[in-house]
Amino acid sequence: MGQTINVSKPTVIGRVALFDTDRSLSGQDGEAYPSLASAEAGSTFPAGLAHRLFTVDRMLSNVFVYSNVVSVERPAAWDEDSLSVVSAAIRDFFIIYDENKGA
């Protein structure tokens, strides 16, 4: 249940990957999360997304959500696997359960 988020091919600039989505995920101020603990302390959709991203890739060092763009920093180099994992976590953020598996 829930809709997937369309995520364009990420743009990598050094240690930062930018994921452009088809919907707004935050207000115009944006929200930054430098750690899993800071994401856990939040109660907004961006905090929940940051929590999920820190969980799927323990190498992340910062997540910034600004409107429909998710900026993710990683001290290690980005590779296709890490980009794919983060992109899938963003894509499936609003999926509550897999309808094929039942409620």
Write out pLDDT tens, residues 66-77. 999 999 999 999
Q: Is residue 103, in this structure, part of any structural domain at all?
A: no
- Tell me whether residue 71 is in a domain: yes
Instruction: Identify the CATH number of the domain in which residue 48 sits.
Output: 3.30.1370.70
Residue matched to tokens 């910062």: 62
Expressed as residue numbers, the domain containing 74 is: 11-91
Q: pLDDT tens, 36-53?
A: 999 999 999 999 999 999
Confidence of residue 21 (pLDDT cuts 50, 70, 90): very high
Residue 82 lies in a domain: yes
The number of domains in the chain is 1
User: Are 39 and 51 spatial neighbours (Cβ–Cβ below 8 Å)?
Assistant: yes
SS (H, E, C) 72-85: EECCCCCCHHHHHH
pLDDT value at residue 48: 96
Helix or strand holding residue 66 (H, E): strand 62-66
pTM assigned to the model:
0.89
What pLDDT score was predicted for residue 103?
Answer: 46
